[in-house]
Amino acid sequence: MTEGGPPAGDRRVRRTHAALRGALIHLVEDRELSQISVADVAERAGVSRSTFYDHYRDVHELAEAACTGMIDELVEVMTALGGDPETGDPIESLQTFFTALAEHASLYRSLLGPQGSARVIDHIRRRMAAAGLKRSTGKTIVAPDDPHNVPAAFVAGALVGVATDWLQRGCAHTPSEMAMLTWPIISVCHFEVHAPARQARP
């Protein structure tokens, strides 16, 4: 281990993962995911097939890892979905989201479509919900001790649904247009958790 850095083995693993994911992302721009083989990816990444299998079971598992990894990075920069003036512009944040999807539309379309990956869809919903979607007041839309983040899960699920439909329709609207169309709907869903309880009818 080098002083102040991760073990050399960890760095090699990260480099291999990055090379394989980069190779897949490049290949999927030219052909369907189902048409890409392990040999294709390994050759593009400059590694052997045995090295590929040291890290991933098949191309689909690699695609899932690449997709979830990019979503994790994307969610980290999407800090303004609640319109909090201290965190930035929610429409800009949504535009960032749709732009990132469009950049790798072929990969996301394959994994979010009817024959796609339930694991990836669930991962995106959970990461979006856990990102702490906020209202314009800056308050989180669920109580911290709420075991089921219903409002955040609702918004995250709706956003994933809209994004999936957009990808399947060939990204007919631009990312900017999608942000403008989506934000008014999302903002309506941002409500206070501790709203006054309704009086039971006698």
Q: What angle do CA 37, 52, 110 make, to 5 degrees?
A: 45
- Is residue 167 within 8 A of residue 160, CB to CB? The reply is no
180 burial class (0-12, 13-18, 19+ CB within 10 angstroms)?
A: middle
What tokens does 81 get? Answer: 């979905």
Domain boundaries, the chain: 6-56, 60-189
Q: Which residue has the tokens 């394959």?
A: 110
Amino acid making up residue 79? T
Q: What angle do helix axes 90-103 and 59-77 make, rounded to 10 degrees?
A: 160
**CA distance linking residue 121 with residue 164, whole number of Å:** 9
For domain 60-189, give the CATH number. Answer: 1.10.357
For domain 6-56, give the CATH number. Answer: 1.10.10.60
The per-residue pLDDT string of the chain (202 residues; one tens digit each, 9 = 90 and over) reads 345 545 556 889 999 999 999 999 999 988 989 899 999 999 999 999 999 999 999 999 999 999 999 988 887 766 545 444 455 677 888 899 999 999 999 999 989 888 788 889 888 888 877 765 444 334 444 444 455 667 777 888 888 899 999 999 999 999 999 999 998 888 776 544 334 444 444 4
Q: What pTM, to 2 d.p., does this model score?
A: 0.74
- Is residue 151 within 8 A of residue 141, CB to CB? The reply is yes
